[in-house]
Chains A and B, each alone.
Chain A
Amino acid sequence: MNMYRIADLNVAMETFGRTLRQSEAYRTTEAMADIVIRTDLDAAQSRYPSFSADDCEHMETASQFYSRLLEHNGMMLHASCVVLDGEAYLFSAPSGTGKSTHTQLWLKRFGDRAFILNDDKPALRWIDGTCYAYGTPWSGKTSLNRNERAVLRGIGILQRSDVNFAERLSGTAAIFGVLDQTIRPYAKSQMQTLLGCIDKLVAGGFVYRVGVNMEPDAAETVYRVMCGEG
């Protein structure tokens, strides 16, 4: 099995196609695995007959990695993650809302100061009390991901809006906003862990409701609120 270093964890995985290509930047020579990923491709393909073997492999490996991530103080969020001046901003929403479109506006507005850490499924992990966002090989349809981490600055639950706005969310709106866009674990113990992660995000004031249009001004407006200048 090949060994990868993903989200500061050693991951043993034998894979192919897109997953293998996108994992290349994460190769490591370390020996002890924190997470071992083994996919049953035949079973996956019978579950998702309309998907190619490549897509099934990508979904299966992602699902295994992110489930196990819960055992290591971390969770996945279905989001496009942009890093600006070394800090991570995640935008989460159901597919088709415009997560990637919005983070591309940040790249246009902020140029070299910004890059996409992961365009679809960044990992979040708490290490010594700090929450970091990580690039992973699982970045959805695009290969936009980097093997880097950045301190979490904010999570925007994204919706389309004629007028650009961002406001901090609390309580159930924030909890459900995050819970709705992550993998819901099957086991109660893992659900407990996930809710513990969400508790830290919401209580830490990281969660925002964000409404954006497709004008370049959207990036500036949201950034100012989330970085505290708004």
Chain B
Amino acid sequence: MKVNRNFMLCEVAGETVVVPCGAAASDFHGMLRLNTTGAALWKMLENGAEEAELSAMLVKEFGADETSAAEDTADFLRKLAEIGCLE
């Protein structure tokens, strides 16, 4: 799974945000704000990580239990898919 390359992760004024560029900008005019875990998931998705790897990272790096890590990952991916962030 990979994020659409037309979306760009950026640090602005202490916030981690994702903005659409190029063709994506005409479909989505908004902006995403990511928290620390969201940013970590996003960076893995830039390199094409699978869902299982993402939730394993939440367990390992953020101390989440396996059930909620899996739920949170699925939820995150569903939101990204809704706004066209996934390729």
Contacts and interface: CB of A to CB of B under 8 A. Distances in A.
B28 to A, nearest CB: 11
Interface stretch (A54-62, A101-109, A188-196): A188-196
A199 B8 contact: no
Interface residues of B, number: 17
A43 interface: no
A200 to B, nearest CB: 9
A203 B21 contact: no
A186 B22 contact: yes
Interface of B: 8, 10-15, 17, 19-22, 25, 29-31, 33
Given A186-B25, A187-B22, A195-B19, A203 B10 contact: no
Interface of A: 170-172, 174-176, 179-180, 184-188, 191-192, 195, 198-199, 202-203
Contact of B22 (A174, A188, A199, A203): A188
B21 A187 contact: yes
Contact of B13 (A180, A186, A192, A199): A199
